[in-house]
Amino acid sequence: MKTRHVFFAPLLFGIFAALPAVAARDPFWPIGYEPPKPEPAAAAGEPVVKNTEPPPPPKPVEKAITEADWAVARKALVISGFTQTVMPDTQEKRVLAMVNRHMVAVGDTVTFDHKDVRYIWRVESMTDNRIQLEPLKAERVALKPTDLIQ
pLDDT (tens place) for every residue of the chain, 150 residues total:
566 666 676 766 666 666 555 456 788 888 888 888 887 766 556 666 666 788 888 887 777 888 888 889 888 888 888 888 888 898 888 888 898 888 998 889 999 888 888 999 999 988 878 888 999 998 888 755 665 565
- Is position 102 within any domain? yes
- Is position 114 within any domain? yes
Query: Against a cut of 0.85, is the pTM above it?
Result: no
Q: What is the pLDDT of residue 124?
A: 92
DSSP state letters, 41-90? PPPTTSPP----PPPPPPPPPBPPP-HHHHHHHHHH--EEEEEEEE-TTT
Torsion angle (degrees, nearest 10) of CA 87, 93, 94, 95: 140
- Is position 143 within any domain? yes
Q: Measuring CA to CA, how many Å separate 112 from each of 75, 79, 118?
A: 11, 12, 6
Distance, in Å, from the CA atom of 38 to the CA atom of 104, rounded to the nearest integer, reads 68
- Is position 39 within any domain? no
**Domain extent at residue 127:** 67-147
- Is position 19 within any domain? no
- Is position 9 within any domain? no
Q: What is the pLDDT of residue 140?
A: 84
Count of domains observed in the chain: 1
